Structure 1
Amino acid sequence: MAEFDTIDDLPADSRVLVRLDLNSPIEDGKPQDNRRFDRHAETVRELADAGHRVVLMAHQGRPGRDDFTSLAGHAEILADHVGRDVAFVADTYGDEALAAIDALGAGEVLLLENTRMCDDELPEESPEEKAETEFVRTLAPEFDAYVNDAYSAAHRLHASLVGFPLVLPSYAGRVMETEYEANTAIATREFDGPVTMVVGGTKATDVIGVMDALDEKVDRFLLGGVAGELFLRAAGHPVGRDVGDTDLFDEQWAENRELIESVLDERGDAIRLATDLAYEGSDGDRAEVAVEDIDEKTAGYLDVGSETVAAYGPPIRESDAVFVKGALGVFEDERFADGTVGVLEAIAETDCFSVVGGGDTSRAIEMYGLDEGDFSHVSIAGGAYIRALTGEPLPAVKVLEAAAADR
């Protein structure tokens, strides 16, 4: 377990600066509601109900990108989830923000403008350098405590994440607490039975690194997605390469070929590869082909096939723990959701410890009417989940631990 303080340790009647991660898809200029709002609302509600003065920070997009926008709309969505007003100020640490913070009453909630609109926020620098920025030095004196609830951004060395714990008593919010505990379980917990990891998604580089790092912690890997095709390529099949205008495979193959081949060579007995793959047939319907029957890749494969889905069920059902990183197919298209949903259904029916990681994969639970309560933990983190699985330290967690040690 992490050695940080939580909001259970927060002194009464505090002025609290809280970092959330409300980064959302933007459509027609408006943020879309998602699981992050609901999760963070628990921390915000608990702090406000306890009578603290609650000031929130969050980011949205990056400068220069289409999703880089104000947080005004985020405040409205969050208010619906929290069940009380969330005021918004279009300023982060200027006079307008400071005046709004000063005017806040007990139990009131205020959201500051997008932290990434501040020059001090983004450059990756040491916590010590971030603590000296104008952003941190201006805001910190306004508060009694800092709470970090943004586990999904905890791998970043940004001012709002690592600067404040050096100058304020610091605590973990509920999302930070539960995400950290679940996502580090693979490294910190002992399981009685087999540990299985489902590996998919499009970022093969990430998951191949995880497979290598978790070599001794995981008994078997069930593969699909881009990583699954690249492993099939390493096993001698004519797949795992780009066709048409795709650019998912060849670059990642060149980057990871040696590692894939060594993992396959050393752990081949623990790695289950797809025996059939699904693609879009000439009539637009789902079509499937056995991997052994593929002489040349002429179509994009969009899911594992039904034989593979059936084969992945039994090893999941006899596992004591199952970790999911990445979808096995393009589940957003109902025709190619069988692999991802089939695996999730098998996990849901099994009495095992289970963590479903990555925002995209967790969306499938909602899309296909599965019950989130059937999983031990559904993570809203991507990069931080990868870091936790590979045992890499998370800078924002390290500074919370240091703050607790200094108290």
Structure 2
Amino acid sequence: MFRLEQFDYSNKTVFLRADLNSPMKEGKIISDARFRAVLPTIKYLLEHGAKVVIGTHQGKPYSEDYATTEEHARVLSELLDMHVEYIEDIFGKYAREKIKSMKPGEVAILENLRFSAEEVKNKPIEECEKTFFVKKLSQVIDLVVNDAFAAAHRSQPSLVGFARVKPMIMGFLMEREIDSLTRAYYSKERPRIYVLGGAKVDDSLRVAENVLKKGKADMILTGGLVANIFVLAKGFDLGRKNVEFLERKGILKYVDWAEKILDEFYPYVRTPVDFAIDYKGERLEVDLLSDERRLFDEYQILDIGSRTVQKYREVLMNAKVIVANGPMGVFEREEFAVGTVGVFKAIAESPAFSVVGGGHSIASIHKYGIEGISHISTGGGAMLTFFAGEKLPVLEAFKISYDKFSSQFS
């Protein structure tokens, strides 16, 4: 795969596909974490005389945070301490003329790529490269740099469509992500512990199944809704309130799948021994084997309990490799952040090589100032797809581009 240092960018127009999709409130971006993650790539390109045209998506159609990239241009301008032009177009004549008029060392950002209908659906590379997006934009760019790891599990024109049209190069963030995830996944060091939490139950089950079958994990610790599904699969009753909630979320159907995983790997999947609920406005911890568990009929589980945190901590402190995705509970409420903070602090303090990902995981790490994790991944879905042993379309596109253009740029 092509790396940044292999190319001469002097006076070249570079399309940089980044993932600056960020949480927004009242039209303002409230976290610049993804912007900061791609700054090294942008600065490198500028220092080497490139004209940088950034493409990103923001939100999904009809969602609250579906917005133009005008605000993204403002945030980037502040971080780079220079003007970043907002181009209110994607690949039309206006955009192409603006790109053609750029000078080396300048940065512009295209309109939200998802304003283009072609960008919303996943299609094979062959179809992506035939899109108007790729045909039109390829007329005014020389090279493509992809630093959008968080979207690497998608196959859309801006992400994979240029692979056989222009050399497609890994940005520094993409390179670091791939190197770190590869190291964790293929490591022979033991024990290798996976911590699966949050609400992406189907993705987490795919990861659990893959790493256990392929001998990549020695133990899986569970939290969040993933834990609830495994607890039900183990035959415990989580009460009417929680079962109804899982059914409303559409994830109760995964209990059978979790059962199949347990049939084959029961001792290697650990579930909480206690949970926390909001009882009359206060955190109350309920042991899974106590009579108090009848409260689960009326109160929703919001976190794992302190005994579970301690048991998980003992496992994590002896690990050599840790992969974690998703919080242990509703960490946004301080009294129910005990599980998430306790587990992530243990990961940070462990001597293990650790990889933690997922938007909510990152948010909780920043919120509670947790330091010491080896690699914090910018991509939740992409990271889970990688550890589920499935191909990431963007990685495949890098390989295809390298095969096509390596003889010209070796």
State whether TM-score is above 0.5. Answer: yes
What's the counterpart of residue 382 of structure 2? Answer: 384
1: CA distance, partners of 2:244 / 2:318: 40
| 8 Å Cα contact 1:128-1:166 kept in structure 2 | no
Once the two structures are superposed, the pairs formed by residues 1-16 of structure 1 within 5 Å of their partners are 4-13=1-10, 14-16=12-14
Change (3 A) 1:240 1:352: farther
What's the counterpart of residue 212 of structure 1? Answer: 209
2: CA distance, partners of 1:121 / 1:251: 27
What's the counterpart of residue 95 of structure 1? Answer: 93
Q: 3-state DSSP class of the match of 2:251?
A: helix
Deviations 1:19-52 (A, max 9, x none): 0111111211223233111101221111112111
- Residue 316 of structure 1 and its aligned partner are, at CA, apart by 0.3
Which stretch shifts more, 52-61 or 96-105? 96-105
What's the counterpart of residue 368 of structure 2? Answer: 368
Once the two structures are superposed, the pairs formed by residues 216-231 of structure 1 within 5 Å of their partners are 216-231=215-230
What's the counterpart of residue 282 of structure 2? Answer: 285
Q: 3-state DSSP class of the match of 2:15?
A: strand
What's the counterpart of residue 134 of structure 1? Answer: 132
Once the two structures are superposed, the pairs formed by residues 229-248 of structure 1 within 5 Å of their partners are 229-239=228-238, 242-243=241-242, 246-247=245-246
Residue ranges of structure 1 left out of the alignment (5+ in a row): none
Q: 3-state DSSP class of the match of 1:132?
A: coil
Identity in percent = 34
Deviations 1:288-327 (A, max 9, x none): 1100012453210111111111111111000001111111
Letter in 2 for 1:60: Q
| 8 Å Cα contact 1:357-1:378 kept in structure 2 | yes
Change (3 A) 1:157 1:240: farther
| 8 Å Cα contact 2:87-2:98 kept in structure 1 | yes
| 8 Å Cα contact 2:144-2:162 kept in structure 1 | yes
TM-score (norm 1): 0.94
Q: 3-state DSSP class of the match of 2:162?
A: helix
Select the residue among 194, 198, 202 that pairs with 2:195.
198
Once superposed, what is the RMSD of the aligned Cα atoms? Answer: 1.7
- Residue 249 of structure 1 and its aligned partner are, at CA, apart by 6.7
| 8 Å Cα contact 1:309-1:342 kept in structure 2 | yes
Select the residue among 74, 77, 101 that pairs with 2:75.
77
TM-score (norm 2): 0.93
2: CA distance, partners of 1:16 / 1:316: 43
Letter in 2 for 1:51: G
Change (3 A) 1:112 1:271: same
Letter in 1 for 2:95: A
Deviations 1:376-399 (A, max 9, x none): 110110211111011111111111
Once the two structures are superposed, the pairs formed by residues 31-110 of structure 1 within 5 Å of their partners are 31-110=29-108
Once the two structures are superposed, the pairs formed by residues 139-154 of structure 1 within 5 Å of their partners are 139-154=137-152
- Residue 243 of structure 1 and its aligned partner are, at CA, apart by 4.3
2: CA distance, partners of 1:241 / 1:75: 48
Q: 3-state DSSP class of the match of 2:285?
A: strand
2: CA distance, partners of 1:241 / 1:222: 25
| 8 Å Cα contact 1:325-1:356 kept in structure 2 | yes
Residue ranges of structure 2 left out of the alignment (5+ in a row): 406-410
